[in-house]
Amino acid sequence: MSRYERVYGTDWEELDEDEAIDRAYALGVAASLGEYHREELEAIRDEMTTAYNRSVVDLAFDEGKNEGREVESEESETVWNELVIGEEVTIDPDELPTGGRNGLPEAVDRMDALDLPDRDSTDALDLPEFLDRE
């Protein structure tokens, strides 16, 4: 049984975006250590419903693989523990990031410009705010 299977298991039935990203990152670290799980990565990618989410999963996998190669340790168990298991991080509630609709800083939050208006709304026919005279 591989490190990935011990920590995450492969018997999931559905994943949300955050779980998929965590698993893809761990798969990347495992791949950098010589344990490539192609079927699991493909199953995670197939679970994502949008091209955007699939690309984020791919980026997480690549990031895990790159960081696994950069760790200056000869022992694979040390690399795995440092990057995947890690140490617990506590965040002071007063220091939580604030910002857009997901609580992310505005620089990394999704743009509203790409959101489609409601089907029953006439907002698409209105002038943009910057052209509207008040």
Task: List, for residues 25-71, the tens digit of each pLDDT value.
Answer: 889 988 888 888 889 999 999 999 899 999 999 999 998 888 888 77
* Residue listed under structure tokens 């006439």: 122
Burial class of residue 63 in the structure, from the number of CB atoms within 10 Å of its CB (0-12 exposed, 13-18 middle, 19+ buried)? middle
Residue 121: Cβ-neighbour burial (10 angstroms; 0-12, 13-18, 19+): exposed
Q: Domain locations in the chain?
A: 3-85
* Statement: residue 76 has pLDDT above 90: no
Q: What is the pTM of this model?
A: 0.60
